[in-house]
Structure 1
């Protein structure tokens, strides 16, 4: 009989919508919720959290340390299957790979995402921290801007915007009124709309939850992720997260995005880099 893989809680949307059911060893069934889609495509961070949950169940260690995903085809809401494989099961780190598949109307199986990851136990890590980076300085969340405060950072019909609370520093929202800074920076506060404290799995969503930095470069339109690597550095403290996303180089029609995620205890809890295809439209949201 199929059994649900272990889920920390089931009383919030994130845990319900990222749940996976063990069909047989290494194979998990999932349902991609329409609530995490932007227009017709499912958010890449949400997909990563689903695959990450399956790997957490399949591997001998519980927590993602590094997760690299290649996005092969756009994912759509509906049934999916995740197939996992243990590449190496070490004493402190285990390496696994996984792919998420969906089916076309004619029954053809299509691979959507392929992941290679290392898992361990975050609670066993050393407390020694030596870092030169500082958390971003942000106005209080009530002084920051959400999609309800003006031109939307995401399409108005996006279910995704109703499931996350993103409050952007006003200094990085000029693109929303046709005045991008050209710096390629977005920063602000993040939490889930259905209250849930952050954990290593939800950090896989957080790193891909903000508006594309391409908007601040004067571009708008779909910015599909090609590859996303996320490092989880420690278990986050309860409370809202601060996120700082930057792009330093757009060339050849592609750009990189670097994200730093800080918890309420001023610790750097996650870092990511992704390569994305730049939008093809050289105009800004809100411009006439």
Structure 2
């Protein structure tokens, strides 16, 4: 990966809502009794390389599960997808997808729903959702992360269309996205601790809709590159399993994503991603187990 990355340049905030299109689903006739089925579109901007970004598929699945839960019982409208456990059975192409939803439990505090993302008659992503009520008050305890600026500094690496990072991660076409150079030592061809930090901000239209902003936070919890890149491991790191938590709806502004690991092994590594909003509150988290990318032949 080249090190000649563009500096952070302020651009006018777009007024469109590209992520809202991911969450805009149309109900269609179900294939099985007691299930809901929705169709949607995931545009090419929500891809890494040629394949759809995993966190985006989880967010789209969350929208489908929310729609069907509310259709099943309108009294559950205040519930949100607070946890998602996702298995990736295949790698969908950008374009039209279907979501098949089954509600497993209806409760006063917790509801459960399963969603399968389908493309070409194949179930490719399976997510088990837990619904509950989000935190809406200040936490009793939360560590501060004051060492990370609330906004990207001038030298942050841009993911804009045409930038070296943006040539691989196309999400920068649908949101403002920057990588912290201080932690991303691989950008300079160096080794460093397996940890990364990013800043991400939805476009104005996406940010204005509280539900879309929450789905965007779910997506952003899978936004960091694989942390073993700082150890010289580059390439595709297939996710074995990912769990995502939504803690609260984000305040407007920049999200901060902090990615760390407990262990990088010979075959697998784990990666935790913590998402803070502009106030410093925790809005989303994820943990995934993934396979080590192909070792960089230059190492």
- How much does 1:39 deviate? 1.8
> CA contact under 8 A between 2:104 and 2:112: conserved in structure 1?
yes
Distance change >3 Å, CA 250–CA 22, structure 1 → 2: same
**Aligned to 2:265, which of 248, 251, 261?**
251
Distance change >3 Å, CA 152–CA 175, structure 1 → 2: same
Question: What is the rounded CA distance, in whole Å, between the counterparts of 1:165 and 1:279 in structure 2?
Answer: 26
Distance change >3 Å, CA 159–CA 171, structure 1 → 2: closer
> CA contact under 8 A between 1:165 and 1:191: conserved in structure 2?
yes
User: Which residue is equivalent to 2:186?
Assistant: 175
**Aligned to 1:113, which of 107, 119, 125?**
125
Question: What is the rounded CA distance, in whole Å, between the counterparts of 1:31 and 1:260 in structure 2?
Answer: 27
Is it true that 1:201 corresponds to 2:215 in the alignment? yes
Mapping of residues 126-145 of structure 1, within 5 Å: 127=137, 129-135=139-145, 137-139=147-149, 140-143=151-154, 144-145=156-157
Question: What is the rounded CA distance, in whole Å, between the counterparts of 1:23 and 1:111 in structure 2?
Answer: 17
> CA contact under 8 A between 1:32 and 1:77: conserved in structure 2?
yes
Mapping of residues 212-231 of structure 1, within 5 Å: 212-231=226-245
Distance change >3 Å, CA 64–CA 283, structure 1 → 2: farther
Q: Deviations over 1:230-285 (max 9, x none)?
A: 1111121111111100122122411111011111111111111011111012357x
> Unmatched 5+ residue regions in structure 1?
1-9, 104-108
Question: What is the rounded CA distance, in whole Å, between the counterparts of 1:133 and 1:157 in structure 2?
Answer: 33
- How much does 1:117 deviate? 0.8
User: Which residue is equivalent to 2:284?
Assistant: 270
User: Which residue is equivalent to 1:52?
Assistant: 62
**Aligned to 1:12, which of 13, 17, 30?**
17
Mapping of residues 92-107 of structure 1, within 5 Å: 92-103=109-120
Would you say how many aligned residue pairs link Structure 1 and Structure 2? 267
> Unmatched 5+ residue regions in structure 2?
1-14, 30-34, 71-75
CA RMSD in angstroms, aligned pairs only: 2.5
Is it true that 1:282 corresponds to 2:292 in the alignment? no
User: Which residue is equivalent to 2:81?
Assistant: 64
Is it true that 1:27 corresponds to 2:37 in the alignment? yes
> CA contact under 8 A between 1:138 and 1:188: conserved in structure 2?
no
The two structures have a TM-score, normalised by structure 1, of 0.84
- How much does 1:172 deviate? 1.1
> CA contact under 8 A between 2:159 and 2:170: conserved in structure 1?
no
